[in-house]
Chain A
């Protein structure tokens, strides 16, 4: 006997434990099976792009902190690169190295959160999340030493960084670098072969190579689908061409691969930090830049490999002290384009982990 069923609409979010902020999905369900989803954005819209038009070039930096608020350093870097390109400013050597160290530390911190939150979505009740936070805490301590802030660092400036590293920074960083690989091994032991995690994540939410490219997906999500594309090597910015590191890729592009991809990238980031620490020169950390930067009329686009993917800033100057237009290419938003195709036919529980494995920050989606 066939029971007659009909689909119903479940409103997931904006306030829901697993929507990573205030993301909202209208989910059409047939029992437990996801038939369709319709993402709804805009609950965290602050008009950052518009606000940027009324601020000086330096004044925009705190706004970029609030985009993807768990990787503020990377946002700062992307914006400063765009502004420097626009104004033609050369950044001192030491500042470049500090920027690389900071943005790679930021990548480690953000990927730790991504992995922890993904496992939280899998239902591992906060344990992996808090373990990851234990390590992120050390990175945040390092950032606090350098910038005085623990979340919105506002550390980089057009033409360098705001201040030089304090004395205690390098010993603390060295200590962290000694500890971190062991912690990563510990996580691998705990998670890699976990039977339930394998059952939940293997083969779930597969994103094919072609679709990933067609949806212009970037970052770990793209590389987990097997595309070797990393802006640090494909279009080197800052001084990334001086470092020796690999771009790990996975094959299937399922949730498990995305989790593995993030862990592997963390290891590569640690490699880069180690090299940058050894090569770190002395000297000024900030170019001689006037207090109010007035770039010549023109436009510039700079993109970096942020922890979540390609983060780009497009700036237009009309030779005033504020950008005429500031457009942001947010990886979180664009990585979500494939979400609907990835979750259709899976169950609610899978919807949550597929969504979690894409790793978004709503601050960046809504801007």
Chain B
């Protein structure tokens, strides 16, 4: 621990130079920008490895194991391979849009991490409206994806992009409403304050909110079973069908950077972020991100994909009313002062409420709908 200045968390905590001081802000900014980029890229490599190996195991095969010990260098090999590929731009493509799309899609994935605390107070900007920032920024990558779909002048890409926009517009709403429960209990919109407020991880106080957010988050970042935007068995590769080489690598990066970002947000909001015994806080944070990501890999290997109309029905007929109910119930509990006083009672009550609501709603009010259209 005493390796002085090179130790990340000590540096991060280094408040000797106050952020208010002119030079202090820029030092802080530079340091965290570097940390975030390094963190995201490393995590992306890590989760790609976890996904490929985990999926291999779940599909009764080995997964990549030739590159380096246990195949650990597979993400590097992937990256090198994809960078050496030729960059093909379709003749009919809108060149500027086609070129700009990966950049616009990638930037928000990095920007999300600005407000996510790696440790108590260790974050780029402790915005007092951190969650609003997260919601706002995470929708920006849709623009990049739609640009990719439109600019490629490919019908598969366009269909994928249109599905993506439709899905994200719908899933933003239950996502925001699911967060409201957390905000009500924590009493703050700042992500750092939310973590500080989690004496009990909010997944216990907000089990329904967690499920809703997880589902909506999966849809937001195109993870199975909501991966209609790049549905490989229908649309070949969806919006990035016409991308190759470095630009494809960017989209690949976006996909996993967003998965890491959503996992980090879920870890922060529901799993207590950097909080945890014994291990250093940043390590807890990483462990929780990987846990959430593993759940996503698990669903991906387990579930078939749903159809576009079912996707919409699921958002509007299931997630939306459920998140409203969740918000209402949480508000009542907060009014009654439960979160601070009767924590264990509240945990039991909320888990029971979740089970009953999900069962009743899925049984009596909601059917994955859609059907044949008369032509």
**Whose C-beta in chain A lies nearest to the C-beta of B313?**
A199
Which positions 180-202 of chain A face chain B at CB distance < 8 Å?
194-197, 199-200
Which of B155, B300, B304, B307 is in CB contact (< 8 Å) with A347? B307
A203 at the interface (CB under 8 A from B): yes
Total cross-chain contacts (CB, 8 A): 95
CB contacts (< 8 Å) of B371 on chain A: these are: 203
B302 at the interface (CB under 8 A from A): yes
B373 near A349: Cβ-Cβ < 8 Å: no
Q: A125-B301, A196-B303, A347-B309 given as contacts; is B58 within 8 A of A352 (CB)? A: no
Binary CB contact string for chain B from 355 to 375 against chain A (1 if under 8 A, 0 otherwise): 000000000000010111111
CB contacts (< 8 Å) of A124 on chain B: these are: 302-305
B308 near A196: Cβ-Cβ < 8 Å: no
Which of B232, B236, B301, B305 is in CB contact (< 8 Å) with A127? B301
Which positions 188-232 of chain A face chain B at CB distance < 8 Å?
194-197, 199-200, 203
CB contacts (< 8 Å) of A344 on chain B: these are: 375
A345 at the interface (CB under 8 A from B): yes
Distance in angstroms between the alpha carbons of A200 and B307 in the assembled complex: 7
How many residues belonging to B are interface residues under a CB distance threshold of 8 Å? 36
B373 near A199: Cβ-Cβ < 8 Å: no
Which of A121, A123, A352 is in CB contact (< 8 Å) with B224? A123
Which of B59, B227, B234, B375 is in CB contact (< 8 Å) with A352? B234
B60 to chain A, nearest CB (A): 5
**Whose C-beta in chain A lies nearest to the C-beta of B307?**
A349
B368 near A199: Cβ-Cβ < 8 Å: yes
A112 at the interface (CB under 8 A from B): no
**Whose C-beta in chain A lies nearest to the C-beta of B309?**
A347
A349 near B372: Cβ-Cβ < 8 Å: no
B225 at the interface (CB under 8 A from A): yes
Binary CB contact string for chain B from 230 to 266 against chain A (1 if under 8 A, 0 otherwise): 0111111000000000000000000000000000000
Which of A8, A195, A348 is in CB contact (< 8 Å) with B234? A348
CB contacts (< 8 Å) of B66 on chain A: these are: none
CB contacts (< 8 Å) of A194 on chain B: these are: 303-304
Distance in angstroms between the alpha carbons of A120 and B301 in the assembled complex: 11
Distance in angstroms between the alpha carbons of A171 and B375 in the assembled complex: 57
B310 at the interface (CB under 8 A from A): yes
Distance in angstroms between the alpha carbons of A126 and B304 in the assembled complex: 10
Distance in angstroms between the alpha carbons of A35 and B304 in the assembled complex: 25
A123 near B233: Cβ-Cβ < 8 Å: yes
Distance in angstroms between the alpha carbons of A345 and B374 in the assembled complex: 6
**Whose C-beta in chain B lies nearest to the C-beta of A349?**
B307
A243 at the interface (CB under 8 A from B): no
Tell me the interface secondary structure of chain B in the complex.
loop
B375 near A123: Cβ-Cβ < 8 Å: no
Distance in angstroms between the alpha carbons of A8 and B162 in the assembled complex: 15
A345 near B372: Cβ-Cβ < 8 Å: yes
Distance in angstroms between the alpha carbons of A323 and B156 in the assembled complex: 46
B33 to chain A, nearest CB (A): 35
Binary CB contact string for chain A from 343 to 357 against chain B (1 if under 8 A, 0 otherwise): 011111110100000
Distance in angstroms between the alpha carbons of A18 and B235 in the assembled complex: 9
A346 near B372: Cβ-Cβ < 8 Å: yes
Q: A18-B233, A123-B233, A344-B375 given as contacts; is B308 within 8 A of A349 (CB)? A: yes
B232 near A17: Cβ-Cβ < 8 Å: yes
B305 near A123: Cβ-Cβ < 8 Å: yes
Distance in angstroms between the alpha carbons of A254 and B326 in the assembled complex: 38
Which positions 314-328 of chain B face chain A at CB distance < 8 Å?
none
Distance in angstroms between the alpha carbons of A196 and B314 in the assembled complex: 11
B310 near A199: Cβ-Cβ < 8 Å: yes
Q: A10-B156, A124-B303 given as contacts; is B225 within 8 A of A196 (CB)? A: yes
Binary CB contact string for chain A from 242 to 283 against chain B (1 if under 8 A, 0 otherwise): 000000000000000000000000000000000000000000
A306 at the interface (CB under 8 A from B): no
Distance in angstroms between the alpha carbons of A125 and B55 in the assembled complex: 9
B306 at the interface (CB under 8 A from A): yes
Which positions 13-68 of chain A face chain B at CB distance < 8 Å?
16-18, 32-33, 35
Which of A10, A126, A199, A200 is in CB contact (< 8 Å) with B59? A126
A350 near B224: Cβ-Cβ < 8 Å: no
B231 near A349: Cβ-Cβ < 8 Å: yes
B58 near A127: Cβ-Cβ < 8 Å: yes
Distance in angstroms between the alpha carbons of A7 and B307 in the assembled complex: 20
A73 at the interface (CB under 8 A from B): no
CB contacts (< 8 Å) of B58 on chain A: these are: 127
B60 near A131: Cβ-Cβ < 8 Å: yes
A198 to chain B, nearest CB (A): 8
B234 near A199: Cβ-Cβ < 8 Å: no
B311 to chain A, nearest CB (A): 10
Which of B159, B235, B300, B304 is in CB contact (< 8 Å) with A196? B304
Distance in angstroms between the alpha carbons of A200 and B371 in the assembled complex: 10
CB contacts (< 8 Å) of B375 on chain A: these are: 33, 35, 344-345
B159 near A122: Cβ-Cβ < 8 Å: no
Distance in angstroms between the alpha carbons of A127 and B305 in the assembled complex: 13
A120 near B306: Cβ-Cβ < 8 Å: no
A123 near B60: Cβ-Cβ < 8 Å: no
B304 near A123: Cβ-Cβ < 8 Å: yes
B314 to chain A, nearest CB (A): 10
**Which residues of B line the A interface, CB within 8 A?**
55, 58-61, 155-156, 159, 224-225, 227-228, 231-236, 300-310, 368, 370-375
A123-B306, A126-B59, A196-B303 are known; give 10 further A-B pairs, CB within 8 A. A10-B156, A18-B233, A122-B233, A123-B225, A124-B303, A196-B368, A200-B310, A347-B307, A349-B305, A352-B233
Report 22 cross-chain contacts, Cβ distance below 8 Å, ordered by A residue: A16-B236, A17-B232, A17-B233, A32-B159, A33-B373, A122-B305, A123-B304, A123-B305, A125-B55, A125-B224, A125-B301, A127-B58, A130-B60, A131-B59, A131-B60, A199-B307, A199-B368, A345-B372, A348-B159, A348-B234, A349-B305, A352-B233
